[in-house]
Amino acid sequence: MEDNTRSSNGHYKPPHRFGLGGVPLGNEFAVVTDKDANAILEAAWSAGIRYYDVSPWYGLGLAERRYGSFLHAKKRSEYVISSKVGKLLKASKTAKHDLFPFSPSPNEVIFDYTASGVRRSIEDSLQRLGIDSLDIAFVHDISSDNKLLPTSWQEQFEIAKKGAFPELTRMREEGLIKGWGIGVNTPEPILRVLEEADPDVCLMASQYSLIDHKNALNQLFPAVREKKASLVVGSSLNAGFISGSPRYNYGKDSYKIPPAFLEKRKRLREVAANHGVDLRTAALQFSASPDVAAALIVGASSEQQILADYTSMQTRVPAEFWAELKAQNLIEQNAATPV
């Protein structure tokens, strides 16, 4: 039987094309109650979703605890789960809650990309999740957009190069994880890790959407193919912007939306309306289409939202819609579109 979790050179890739991301269940943008969080996870499971992505960062432990509460009773072989390393949580009576105002946490964050820090991070995640292993570990936010790093991202990358990357390779050999990569919002760290280490799969967030995809398409994808690695695509809606959110991506400046993006969204909506296409559906399918995309993950803050997203992945979008987007130069001519 063919192993669809391994590339031709043995790199692990998630076997499920669609997954549920953990940001909303960490109460990043609004309060989601424990009851509602469990209902979202139950709806996702019932729909057949079997890939889940979390992080210690999401709610400073809250998302992992919620996923663990739901998943630890499931048969471990029935689902795939990825989490992140590089941000250790430390309980403190003086912890500041301004990073996650909707999720008061007793934890402070310590950036640690060393070998020992990464191993501890995974062990802590496994305890919060209530499971014995991860499928994928992503080295988290080691990139220029992370303004909280104690030194430049390049300096932190060098620490990871000597510590996190070889340690994750050892943990892969030990069977504690099946694969590793980095999870970032910018292309430079992915390009560097492909050159300087041996990652399996990287989480590429906020870089391949209907609004913005040229750089990833022409610069990042060829490097991924050459290394025979793959990508998990996140934030295909640019943190909800494509489906109507008043923010674009993440961070404190996310509500300062460039006028060009607002104009492009308007034009995309017009083409979608002309073809009777739901723009959110088209955006999700577009981001999942590249040959290097092993999986697409989406966040959901309600049962209805995850079910709508899952349904969108099964809905046919007419070829004429994609053709018009290319004719109007709203997407790159060499961009893959759904068949």
The per-residue pLDDT for 3 is 52
Q: Where does the pLDDT of residue 4 fall: very low under 50, low under 70, confident under 90, or very high at 90 and above?
A: low
Give the separation between CA 262 and CA 248, rounded to whole angstroms: 10
Q: Looking at residues 225-251, what average pLDDT do you find?
A: 92
Asked if pLDDT for residue 29 goes beyond 50, the answer is yes
The per-residue pLDDT for 69 is 97
Give the separation between CA 275 and CA 307, rounded to whole angstroms: 23
What is the full DSSP assignment across 132-172?
Answer: S--SEEEEE--STT-TT-SS-HHHHHHHHHHTHHHHHHHHH
The per-residue pLDDT for 239 is 87
The per-residue pLDDT for 2 is 39
In angstroms, the Cα distances linking 191 to 99, 155, 229, 313 are 29, 16, 11, 29
The per-residue pLDDT for 6 is 66
Give the separation between CA 80 and CA 86, rounded to whole angstroms: 21
The dihedral through the CA atoms of 143, 334, 18, 26 has a sign that is positive
Q: Where does the pLDDT of residue 1 fall: very low under 50, low under 70, confident under 90, or very high at 90 and above?
A: very low
Q: Where does the pLDDT of residue 7 fall: very low under 50, low under 70, confident under 90, or very high at 90 and above?
A: low
The per-residue pLDDT for 251 is 75
Q: What DSSP element (H or E) covers 274? A: helix 259-274
The per-residue pLDDT for 10 is 85
What is the full DSSP assignment across 294-334?
Answer: EEEEE--SSHHHHHHHHHHHHS---HHHHHHHHHTTSS-TT
Domains in the chain: ranges and CATH: 18-327 (3.20.20.100)
Asked if pLDDT for residue 279 goes beyond 80, the answer is yes
Whether the CB-CB separation of 53 and 82 falls below 8 Å is answered with yes
The per-residue pLDDT for 64 is 97
How do residues 55-80 score in pLDDT, each as one tens digit? 999 999 999 999 999 999 999 999 99
